C-alpha cells in the first residue's frame, strides 16, 4: 500500500468520507488512489477557496470533518481565508496539502514556498516525513480536527507515492466535557450570551426554560457558526453588528453569562467607541467554554431554576407586493423558507431584516460568517448540501462577496446539489459605504466612492450562473422573488435568483 | 495629515502611482484619503488575487512597484498565491494591508489572525506602529520592493486614522551592480543559461553576439518573468518543461553559465528522474546573479569574444484553415500578434506551440508564470495594460487556470483596458492528465479521471465574460480565431475569445 492509499483509507476509517479537492501534480497519487477507495467521495472544485469553504459548511452540518486536497503553498494560500472562517467557528477540517518530494525540497523549485508558515497560522499542522507513519499522521490530524481545529497535513509527493504505508487509527471522538454549574445571579439584569454549541435546538430550549424561570434575557452571538431557528424554538435575538446598537443592547446588563461564546467585542475598532461591548461595571461569568457541553450545563440550570419557555409560534410574513428592498427580500424569504432548510447567510447589509422575518418560519438552521472573511457563503452552501442531501439549502448572498468564490456554482451544477442561491444585488459594497461613515472618514469624494461601487459595469449574475451550468432568473419585486424561490425549491439541482435591490 | 494620507503621499513621492485595491473597513481612511492625492490611481478589483497579480504584471512591465490595498489576514491570504508568483519572478510589489487598530488587537475580534506569518512567508514585512513613523515605514517598504521583493506593510486602522503623519523618503533606486567578468570556457559545449534581467532585448542581443563568436548555445529559463521576443532578436529556446526533453536539451553540456538565472531544476519531482537538470559532470559557472547587471556582463563578454549575431527574421505563420488544436492556435497567434504586444502566457499545455510560432512575429514581450501558482495570467494582463496603456495585451490563458481569478475580467471592463483574452478551452486540467502519467500513477480510473475533467458541466466563457461586461465570441477554426483576434486588437477595451480545443 502506498502512502496515498494509506492516507485515504485512514481518513475513511476515521469517518472522513468526503474530500473537496483542487489537486495538482504533487497530489496525483492521491487522485489515483481514489479509484481504490470508493468510500471516499471526491468533489472537484475550481478554486481552493471553494474547497475549504465547502469543508467548513460540511463540518457545521455533519458535525464531523471533511478533508480538502490542496496543492502546495499557493493552494493553501488560496484556501486560507475560508480556513480562517472555519477556525473562528471551530469547524473541524482536515487539509491534505501536497508538497514537493522530500528529495526535491532543497532545489528551491518554482512552487517552493513557506507552506509550513501558512499551515501553522491557521491551526494544527504536521509535515509527514515517512510513508510508514503517514497513516498515524493522518489519525493525529483527524484527532486535532475533532477538537474543533483546522488541521493541516503536509504530504510530500514521495511520501505519497512510496510503498510501505500503514493505516493509522484516530482515537474515538471525545464528547464535550460536562462542567459543574456554579451559582449564578440570574435575573432581569442578566444576559445569557449564547454561542458555539449553545445554539442547537435542545440547548436553546433549555436556555429558554432558564430565561422563563428567572427573567434573564437570552442573546446569541452576532455570527453563529450554526443556529437552530423557527417555530417551536425560542426567538433569541442576536447581538447587533453595529457598535451603537450593540452597546445599547447590553447597556443595562449587570451580569453577562457566557455559554459557549467569547465575551462580545466590536468587529472593528472605531474612533471614540469602546471595543468591548459589556458595560464596565458588568460582571462576566463563564458557564461553558468551547469543548464543554452547553447542553449539559443549560439542562442542569433549567432543572434548577427553569420555567415554561416562550417559543416562537408558526407565523410567516406575507409577500409584499412591491419592488424589492432588503425588507421585502427578508419577508419573502420568511414566507417561503421550507421545512428543514439550511439557510447560509452571507447577506451582510441586505440581510439585516432576515432574522426577524424568519423567526416563525418552519424549523431550519442558519450558518453565518464566523470569521468575517467574505466569500464563504457559496462554498459553505456546497458543503452543507453534500452533508445534508435531503435538506434544501438557501444561500442568501451579498453580491460583492459572491464574486470572491463564485466558482462554487460550477461544483453545485456538477454535483447537482439542491442549493438555491439568492443574490442580494445592490450593485455596491454597501457595507463599506456604512463603514466609511462609521470610522469617521470623510466620505463623498468621487474617487473614494468609486472604490465602493460595483455598478460600472453592472454584474450580470444570470449570465455568470449560466456560464457555470446553473439556471438563473432575475427578479425585481416581492411576488417575482417568491415565485422564483418556490420554483427553485421545487426542482432538483441548483438555481440562482438574482434579486435586484436598487434603491 | 493623518497616517493614511502620509502613506499615500509617501508612495506617490517614491514613484508608486497605482494601487490595485480590494478594501474593507480597516482601510476606509486610506480610501477616503485617495480623494486628497489625485496622483495615486486606485484600481478596484473584485478579489485580492486579482489585485496582487495585477501588481505583479504592472511591476514586470513598468519596472517599478505598484501598491496593493488588502484587508487583514484573509485579504492577504486571498492574494498570497500571486504574491508567490511575484516573489519567484523578483517583481517588486508594495502591499498595504489594513489591520485592526492597535487598541483592538487584544480583543481577538473575528477577523483577527496571524497576518504577520502570512506576510513574512512571502517577503519583507513590517507592522507600522506609530503614525509619526508611518511615512518612514512606507519608504522602507518601497526600498525593499525595489530590491526585487514583495514588501508588506501592515497598517493598523488607528495608525491610519490618527493625525501626526509625516512623509517618508525612499532612498533612490539603486542600479544593478556591475560585476567583473571572469574567464569562461565558451564553446559548443557551453550553454549560457539566461533568466531574470538577462532576457531583455539588449541583453539578448549581447548574448547572441557571444554565441556567434564562440559557438556557445543560448537557452532561456522555462518560465521567464519577462522576455523580449520577435523579429530582429535572437530566437533563444527555452529549457523545456517536461523532465525528459529538459535533460536531453542539456545532456551534452560541459559548462553551464548562469546569467541572472538559477541552476535549472525540475518543476516537480518524479520517481526515478533526477531533479537537477545539469549533467553530473557539467561545471556550473555564475556570470551574474539577481541584482547584478546582466547587460553589463554580457556586453563586456561580447566585446571580448563576440561575433555577428544570428537574429530572427520577420516571418509569421500562415493561418491554418482547419479546426483548432494547440498547433493551429499557436500559428494564428503568430500570424496576428501586433507590434509591441504584451503576451501574457498562462496557456500551459495548450501553449506549447506558441513559442516557435511567435519567434518571427513583430517585437513583443512575453510574461510567463514564474511561480507555478495558476491564476496569475488574467490579473497580470490587467497590470500590464495599466502599466502600458499604448500597447496591446494578449492573455493566452488555459481554461482551468482562468477560473482561479476570472474576476479580472470585470476590472478590464471597468478600466476599459486594451486586453484580449484568448481562452484555450480544452475542457480539462490537461496538464494533470499528463502529470498523472509522469508521476507513474495508475491512471484511467473513472473516479480519478473525474477530478481532471472540466467538461461536466462545460464552462461557457462567453457567458461568463458577458456577466462581467466583457464582449466575447466563441471560435472553433483557425480563420475564425484570426478574425476574432484581429477585431479584438482593432477595437478599444477588453475582449474575450473562447477558442474551443476539443480533440
Check CB contact under 8 Å for A161 and B26.
Answer: no
Q: Would the CB atoms of B269 and A372 count as touching at under 8 Å?
A: no
Closest-CA distance of chain A to residue B303, Å = 34
Contact A268 B100 (CB under 8 A): yes
Before B457, cis peptide (omega within 30)? yes
List CB contacts of A451: < 8 A, sequence separation 6 or more.
B21, B23, B31, B34, B42, B44
A180: buried, middle or exposed (CB in 10 Å: 19+, 13-18, 0-12)? exposed
What pLDDT band is residue A208 in, cutting at 50, 70 and 90?
A: very high
Most B CBs within 10 A among A20, A34, A268, A402, hence the mutation to make, goes to A268
Question: For all residues of chain A together, what is the average pLDDT?
Answer: 95
Rounded to 5°, angle at Cα B374 from A456 and A16: 105
Q: Which domains does chain A have, with CATH numbers?
A: 3-161 (3.40.50.970), 190-305 (3.40.50.1220), 326-500 (3.40.50.970)
Would you call B17 an interface residue with chain A, using a CB distance cutoff of 8 Å?
Answer: no
| Residue positions counted in chain B | 503
pLDDT at residue B57 in the model: 98
Contact present, A97 and A122 (Cβ < 8 Å): no
* pLDDT at site B440: 63
Alpha carbon separation from B478 to A242, A301, B52, B315, B362 (Å, rounded): 57, 76, 34, 18, 20
For A28, the closest of B265, B410, B436 (CB atoms) is: B436
pLDDT of residue A349: 84
- Does the beta carbon of A438 lie under 8 angstroms from any beta carbon of chain B? yes
Residues 6 or more apart in contact with residue A100 via CB below 8 angstroms: A26, A72, A109, A111, A112, A156, A157, B268, B269
**pLDDT digit string (tens) for A410-459?**
999 999 999 999 999 988 877 777 777 766 665 567 788 888 888 889 99
Positive/negative CA dihedral, A372, A374, A375, A377: positive
What's the Cα-to-Cα distance from A15 to each of A34, A62, A143, A171, B45, rounded to whole Å?
A: 16, 11, 11, 11, 40
**CA distance to partner chain B, nearest, from residue A444 (Å):** 8
From A60-69, A215-224, A431-440, B213-222, the region with the lowest mean pLDDT:
A431-440
List, for chain B, all residue ranges whose pLDDT scores fall below the cut of 50: none
Alpha-carbon distance of A126 to A117, in angstroms, equals 11
CA pair distance B157, A440, nearest whole angstrom:
12
Residue that the C-alpha cell 514586470 belongs to: B60
How far apart CA B289 and CA B267 sit, in angstroms, is 20
pLDDT at A167: 98
A28–B262: do the CB atoms touch at under 8 Å? no
Judge whether residue A173 has pLDDT over 90. no
The residue whose grid cell reads 472555519 is: A86
Q: What are the two backbone dihedrals, phi and then psi, of residue A285, each rounded to the nearest 5 degrees?
A: -115, 150
> pLDDT band for position A34 (50/70/90)?
confident
Residues of B in contact with A41 (CB under 8 A): none
Q: Which residues of A touch B262 (CB under 8 A)?
A: 108
Distance of residue B161 Cα from the nearest chain A Cα, in angstroms: 8
Cα torsion B274, B276, B282, B287 to 10°: value is: 170
Residue A206's pLDDT band, with cuts at 50, 70 and 90, is very high
Residue A191 scores a pLDDT above 70: yes
A439/B contact by beta carbon, under 8 A: yes
Pick the residue of B444, B448, B461, B496 with the most A CBs within 10 A to test the interface with A by mutation: B448
**What percentage of chain A carries pLDDT values higher than 70?**
98
Beta-strand ranges (E) seen in A296-436 are 342-346, 364-368, 393-398, 419-425
Subunit contact B466:A448, Cβ cutoff 8 A? no
Is the pTM higher than 0.95? The answer reads: yes
ipTM score over 0.90, yes or no: yes
Question: Which residue from A355, A185, A77 is spatially nearest to B47, judged by alpha carbons?
Answer: A77
Q: Residue A259's pLDDT band (boundaries 50, 70, 90)?
A: very high
pLDDT at A24: 84
CA–CA distance, A350 with B43 (Å, rounded to integer): 25
Q: Do A23 and B457 touch (CB under 8 A)?
A: no
Q: Do B432 and A276 make contact, defined as CB atoms within 8 angstroms?
A: no
Sequence-distant (≥ 6) Cβ neighbours of residue B503 within 8 angstroms: B325, B426
Q: Report the residue of chain B nearest A109, measured CA to CA.
A: B267
pLDDT of residue B503: 59
What is the mean predicted confidence (pLDDT) over A312-317? 96
- Could you tell me if A125 lies within 8 Å of chain B, comparing CB atoms? no
CB contact under 8 A, A157 and B44: no
Closest Cα to residue B431, out of B346, B371, B364? Answer: B346
Task: Tell me: pLDDT of A315 over 60.
Answer: yes
Place of cell 464574486: A403
Judge whether B125 is closer than 8 Å to chain A, CB to CB.
no
Amino acid at each position: 500500500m502506498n502512502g496515498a492509499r494509506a492516507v485515504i483509507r485512514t481518513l475513511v476509517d476515521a469517518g472522513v468520507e468526503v474530500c473537496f479537492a483542487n489537486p495538482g501534480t504533487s497530489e496525483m497519487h492521491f487522485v489515483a488512489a481514489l479509484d481504490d477507495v470508493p468510500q471516499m467521495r471526491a468533489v472537484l472544485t475550481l478554486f481552493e477557496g471553494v474547497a475549504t469553504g465547502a469543508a467548513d459548511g460540511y463540518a457545521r452540518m455533519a458535525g464531523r470533518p471533511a478533508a480538502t486536497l490542496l496543492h502546495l503553498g499557493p493552494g493553501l494560500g488560496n484556501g486560507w481565508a475560508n480556513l480562517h472562517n472555519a477556525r473562528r467557528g471551530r469547524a473541524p477540517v482536515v487539509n491534505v496539502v501536497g508538497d514537493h518530494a522530500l528529495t526535491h525540497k532543497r532545489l528551491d523549485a518554482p512552487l517552493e514556498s513557506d507552506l509550513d508558515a501558512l499551515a501553522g497560522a491557521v491551526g494544527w499542522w504536521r509535515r509527514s516525513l515517512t510513508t510508514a507513519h503517514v497513516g498515524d499522521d493522518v489519525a493525529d490530524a483527524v484527532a486535532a480536527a475533532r477538537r474543533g481545529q483546522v488541521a493541516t497535513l503536509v504530504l510530500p509527493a514521495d511520501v505519497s507515492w512510496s510503498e510501505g504505508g500503514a493505516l493509522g487509527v484516530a482515537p474515538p471522538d471525545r464528547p464535550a466535557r460536562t462542567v459543574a454549574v456554579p451559582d449564578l445571579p440570574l435575573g432581569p439584569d442578566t444576559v445569557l450570551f449564547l454561542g458555539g454549541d449553545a445554539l442547537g435546538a435542545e440547548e436553546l430550549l433549555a436556555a429558554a426554560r432558564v430565561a422563563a424561570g428567572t427573567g434573564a434575557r437570552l442573546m446569541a452571538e452576532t455570527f453563529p457558526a450554526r443556529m437552530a431557528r423557527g417555530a417551536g424554538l425560542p426567538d433569541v435575538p442576536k447581538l447587533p453588528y453595529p457598535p451603537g446598537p450593540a452597546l445599547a443592547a447590553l447597556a443595562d446588563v449587570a451580569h453577562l453569562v457566557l455559554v459557549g461564546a467569547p465575551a462580545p467585542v466590536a468587529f472593528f475598532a472605531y474612533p471614540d467607541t469602546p471595543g468591548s461591548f459589556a458595560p464596565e461595571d458588568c460582571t462576566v461569568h463563564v458557564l461553558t467554554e468551547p469543548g464543554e457541553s452547553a447542553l449539559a450545563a443549560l439542562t442542569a440550570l433549567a432543572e434548577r431554576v427553569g420555567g415554561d419557555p416562550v417559543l416562537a409560534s408558526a407565523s410567516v410574513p406575507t409577500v409584499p407586493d412591491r419592488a424589492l428592498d432588503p425588507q421585502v427580500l427578508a419577508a419573502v424569504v420568511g414566507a417561503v423558507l421550507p421545512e428543514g432548510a439550511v439557510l447560509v447567510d452571507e447577506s451582510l447589509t441586505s440581510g439585516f431584516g432576515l432574522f426577524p422575518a424568519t423567526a416563525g418560519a418552519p424549523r431550519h438552521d442558519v450558518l453565518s460568517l464566523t470569521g468575517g472573511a467574505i466569500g464563504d457563503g457559496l462554498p459553505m452552501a456546497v458543503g452543507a448540501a453534500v452533508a445534508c442531501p435531503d435538506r434544501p439549502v438557501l444561500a442568501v448572498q451579498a453580491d460583492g462577496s459572491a464574486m470572491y468564490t463564485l466558482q462554487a456554482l460550477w461544483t453545485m451544477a456538477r454535483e447537482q446539489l439542491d442549493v438555491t442561491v439568492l443574490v442580494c444585488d445592490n450593485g455596491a459594497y454597501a457595507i463599506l459605504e456604512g463603514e466609511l461613515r462609521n470610522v469617521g472618514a470623510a466620505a463623498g469624494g468621487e474617487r473614494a466612492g468609486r472604490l465602493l461601487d460595483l455598478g460600472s459595469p453592472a454584474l450580470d449574475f444570470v449570465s455568470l450562473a449560466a456560464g457555470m451550468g446553473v439556471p438563473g432568473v432575475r427578479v425585481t419585486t416581492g411576488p417575482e422573488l417568491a415565485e422564483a424561490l418556490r420554483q427553485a425549491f421545487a426542482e432538483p439541482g441548483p438555481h440562482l435568483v438574482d434579486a435586484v435591490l436598487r434603491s
